[in-house]
Structure 1
Amino acid sequence: MDKHGHTNIFTVVIGGAAGDGIKEAGSNLGRVLTKLGYEVFVSFKYPSLIRGGHNFSRVSFSKEKIFYDHSGIDALVALNDETIHRHLDKLNKDAVVFVENLEEHDVTAVGAKAVQLPLQEFIKKSGAPQIARSSAALGAVCYLLNLPLQKILNVLQEVFKEKGYESNITLAKLGYEHLEKLNFRRWKKIEPGEVGRREFIDGNTAFARGIVASGLDHYFSYPMTPSTSILHFLAKQQKNYNIKVIQPENEIAGIHMALGAAYAGKRAAVGTATGGFALMQEAFSLAGIAEIPVVIAVSQRQGPASGVPTHFSQADMRFVLHSGHGEFPRIVLAPGDPEEAFKCGADALNLAWKYQLPVIVLLDKHVSENSTTSVLDSSAIKIEKGKLEEMPHGHYGRYALTEDGVSPLAFPGTPGIAVKSNSYEHDEDGTVTEDFDTIKKMQDKRFAKGEGLAEEMDKYETVKVYGDTKSKDAIVFWGSNKTVILEAAKFIKKPCRLVQVLWLAPFPTEKVSRALKAAKRIIDIESNHDAQFAGLLREKTGIVAEDKILRYDSRPFDPLELAEEINAYLK
């Protein structure tokens, strides 16, 4: 039970230093709980350090759907003293604190109870490496949940089977049996739900699987937090997926390699953070004028410049919408959770090839790295190859003028034709031109794609509406704030209309206008200083969000605190 009296949500925090395996510990607990049938949300907080500092994973779970983690802690696994000091004020009443040395820690003043978990003793018994010691805490938490040991061990066999870590299972068993010997008081049992097709996954991995499902051939990325795990996942899986994954010398090389691959007929994608995307601007414009299909995953983090590289921000929406010099159409999708990251990844590759233009999937630190129980359906993804000219006869115009602005696409090496493409303005054949009429025709041709896409947008879920669709009070949001707002909505005292916008360009003006129709109060919630989405909303629809809840200190919103702020507006 947290400090607000909510008894159906439990939160476990595992804390220590960088290098202690904190992220893996939280992920393993999340996987186990998911396989047991719980709804789970896991976040990972870490500084920009390889060793030291304070890292922690926060695991919230419930029988009912949980959209975001809660800050009130029911069990704290402290792998060092700093973890206790940092999280002491977040301990719920009757919280359990697992420590190595019981005599050094007294948490009774905050209504919690310290329990010795002799991790070093367990390490000696199991023969496991130090980095695995948090697995004992996993077993201890499962004991608190009042779950049968054999059921836990069966699930752990599944979780660790691929990794081959037998000692992790031994550690978990030791942790469970240790509390059993102490006859320690268990938590009120929460019956898990059905496992079904759910899996535990983060947004980066979901995005990666989405582009693979949509026919990815090549992926290029220079590592940059928080996009790096896309590269790591695809690199490990490239043989299974029959794709090529390349880490170039820098971000500029990465996007040029992707454009070259797409020019040659390969479905290519790039991954970076917004700092890396800043280096790609000239190449992004090249994709625009050369009409080269490419997908770019851009994950936001706290800036400007190097900023706070491992922290959260939504400050780059305007930058991405107006990226590149010159005018040309682009598509910008902003998923809010792993399921949407998967779908947006798949849609992005199809849209890039259908309309022969660059598509950005705008992620952020939280949608990239937070993990939750999700359902991903690869069988529902159909690969759209676009307007391919498979057997051109005689003359071929790479930029032939068409009604929809999309020219038949052929690739170098096609017998009997030349495929010309460059960064200069060109005529229908791809030959450089400075003729005024041709320049205008080519500009109009490129923007005709946007007009065609706008007509087709009804096929896509560009806007989602939750809550009471007839309420006069509306909240608008985009990106990963979806998760915290949906969780906060459980604690909002008045019925509210919640409007999420997934497509930022082209902007779904009609759908957004319908979603906000007759709303008397509109609250814009986002994580930047300038209320960038509120400005875009007004620009595209004329609708003004008079009330704004903004956070830009690199921390995400807390669902309970956010609910209190919303309730204050709705009085």
Structure 2
Amino acid sequence: MEKTILIGGAAGLGSTVTSHLIGKVFCSLGYYVFNYRDYPSLIRGGHNFNILKVSSNPVYSHEYHYDFILALDQKTIDIHQKDLKKGGLIFGTKETEPIVQKLQGPKILANDVLVGLLFKHFGVALDVILTATEKVFDQNADLIKKAVAEGYRSGSQKEKLKISKPKYFISGTEAIGIGAVAAGLDIYLAYPMTPASPLLHFLAKRQLENNILVFQPENEIAVINAALGASFAGAKAMVGTSGGGFALMAEGLSLAAMTELPLVVYLGQRPAPATGLATHTGQGDLKFALNAGHGEFLRVVLSPGDAQEAIIRTQEAFYLSHKYRVPVILLSDKHLAESNYTFDEINKASLAADRFILANQPQDYKSYEITPNGVSPRVVPGFLKKRLTN
């Protein structure tokens, strides 16, 4: 089985949350789902849409020909109807408006009516959809569940899905966050810049449960220098930005190299130059990542290809940065960061979360000591057993 579903509407109508809910339901039934997000740089208005590719086999990207169009407004139909496959279906305001009026709820309930209609088409049990809805919307789920149920009852079954073992549904951003926590992250600093901003939000929500600090300084220059201060004190530090912000961090990157302080830089790419296209994907910063900073120095650049790789590459980034005392740049892009992937299981690397710091500082410690393997020993302030004073 393979189906492609587009859901679209103006910014603020909830197409992103709804597509995520649909994806989670299909994953709970044992299907692989890839969820792609497309949106302009607007808070309200414009045209947002998500594309879900659902398959019995692993999928890692989307396509632009659809079996279903779930339209929250007429503009979605006008733009995308030309790409509807022969025999494809459109569910839109004609189906949703009478139900929303009946429920006397907000316009955004149209999303949930469409969810019910879609899964009735596939013959999915209503309780499966309502359970997933409750998990996503929690205490706000009552009215939403009513809309889903009304949409379900108004539809008709045309197909029947085979159910198998549930799967994991995660985004590239979530994967990088999981990898960072697994690697022993202590502090994450960032100034918001799409598509790196979602990692700031993901980690901020999980500070207490993972005993980490997430902080937003006043700009990118402050971000990288504060992170180097934390690294100097022994913390595992990570910063996040996109191309324009990374440009501002270039001098700090050189400082990290000169002081041999471990640092992981998450670089979520988008089209450039300058501000570029804030909400589109791009991969034009590879040469910049390889050469940024004044002077010549060692650095490691890692680039995961999907969410599963993103977990492991992030763990490797911390390991390599601390073992060799070099900056490590983790390259991502909007496509990886903001898309959702499906896996049978989530794997982490077996790397030890070591800091590679000497337990006892020798009296004759030299930070830049020449060693056979080329890596100087590392200590942090406050570990000298016998303090020397004038």
TM-score bracket, shorter-length normalisation: over 0.9
Q: Give SS of 1:152's match.
A: helix
Q: Distance in 1 between matches of 2:356 and 2:302?
A: 22
* Change in CA separation of 1:370 and 1:20 when aligned onto 2, cut-off 3 Å: same
Instruction: Name the structure 2 match of 1:39.
Output: 32
Among 259, 277, 285, the alignment partner of 2:246 is 277
The structural deviation recorded for 1:156 is: 3.2
Residue aligning to 2:100: 122
Contact preservation (8 Å) 2:6, 2:69: yes
Give the superposition deviation at 1:361: 0.6
- Could you say if the C-alpha distance between residues 411 and 200 of structure 1 is closer, same or farther in structure 2, counting changes exceeding 3 Å? same
- Once the two structures are superposed, the pairs formed by residues 64-103 of structure 1 within 5 Å of their partners are 64-101=57-94
- Superposition RMSD on alpha carbons, in Å? 1.9
Secondary structure in 2 matching 1:394 = coil
The one-character-per-residue Cα deviations of 1:233-291 (angstroms, maximum 9, x if unpaired) are 10011111110000111111111111110110000100111111011000001111111
Cα separation, 1, equivalents of 2:109 and 2:255: 48
**Structure 1 residue 135 and structure 2 residue 135: aligned?**
no
**1:316-352 CA-partner distances (Å, limit 9, x unpaired):** 1111111111111111001011111111111111111
2:337 is the counterpart of 1:368: yes
Structure 2 residue 151 is the aligned partner of structure 1 residue 175: yes
Structure-2 residue corresponding to 1:295: 264
Q: Is the contact between residue 99 and residue 150 of structure 2 (CA under 8 Å) also seen in structure 1?
A: no
2:322 matches 1:322: no
Give the corresponding residue for 1:521: none
**What are the residue-to-residue correspondences of 1:179-218 with 2, within 5 Å?**
179=155, 184=156, 186=158, 188-195=159-166, 198-218=167-187
Q: CA deviation at 1:389?
A: 1.2
Equivalent position amino acid for 1:58 in 2: I
Structure 2 residue identity aligned to 1:262: S
Q: Check if 1:153 corresponds to 2:124.
A: no
Q: What letter matches 1:301 in structure 2?
A: R
Distance 2:37 2:356 in 1: 43
What is the distance in 2 between the residues matched to 1:123 and 1:287?
Answer: 59
Residue 133 (structure 1) shift: 3.1
Query: Which residue of the partner structure matches residue 286 of structure 1?
Result: 255
CA deviation profile, 1:84-131 (whole Å, cap 9, x unmatched): 111011101121111213xxxxxxxxxxxxxx233x63365274x443
Residues 364 and 417 from structure 1, CA distance in 2 versus in 1: closer, same or farther, beyond 3 angstroms? farther
Q: Distance in 2 between matches of 1:313 and 1:417?
A: 53
Instruction: Tell me the amino acid that sits aligned with residue 30 of structure 1.
Output: G
> Which of 356, 369, 372 pairs up with 2:325?
356
Residue matched to 1:528: none
Partners in 2 of 1:132 and 1:211 — Cα distance?
36
1:3 aligned partner:
none
1:60 aligned to which of 32, 39, 53: 53
Instruction: Kindly provide the amino acid, as one letter, of the partner of residue 147 in structure 1.
Output: V
Q: Give 3-state SS (helix, strand or coil) of 2:53's partner.
A: strand
Quick check: 1:123–1:171 contact (8 Å CA) kept in 2? Answer: no
SS in 1 for 2:332: strand
Matched with 2:41 is: 48
Deviates more, 1:150-159 or 1:293-302: 150-159
Amino acid at match of 1:21: G
Q: Which moved more, 1:279-288 or 1:141-150?
A: 141-150
- Taking structure 1 as the reference length, the TM-score comes to 0.65
Contact 1:117 1:175 in 2 (8 A): yes
Provide structure 2 residue ranges, at least 5 long, that are not aligned to the other structure: none
Distance 1:18 1:417, change over 3 A: farther
Q: Distance in 1 between matches of 2:367 and 2:21?
A: 51
- CA 1:230–1:132: 2 relative to 1, 3 Å: farther
Q: Which runs of 4+ in 1 moved over 4 A?
A: none
Bigger mean CA deviation after superposition, 221-230 or 11-20: 11-20
Following superposition of structure 1 onto structure 2, how do residues 216-295 of structure 1 map, counting pairs within 5 Å? 216-295=185-264
Contact 1:261/1:267 (8 A) holds in 2: yes
Partner letter of residue 52 of structure 1? Answer: G
Aligned residue in 1 for 2:353: 384
Structure-2 separation of matches of 1:164 and 1:340: 34
**Pair 1:309–1:400, CA change in 2 (3 A):** same
Distance 1:157 1:165, change over 3 A: closer
Q: Which amino acid aligns with 2:164?
A: G
TM-score by length of 2: 0.94
CA contact (8 A) 1:226 1:300 kept: yes
Greater Rg by CA: 1
Q: Which amino acid aligns with 1:371?
A: N
> Percent identity among equivalent residues?
40
Change (3 A) 1:202 1:99: same
Which position in structure 2 is the counterpart of 1:474? none
Displacement, 1:384?
Answer: 3.4
Q: Which SS does the other structure have where 1:65 is aligned?
A: coil
Report the AA paired with residue 154 of structure 1.
T
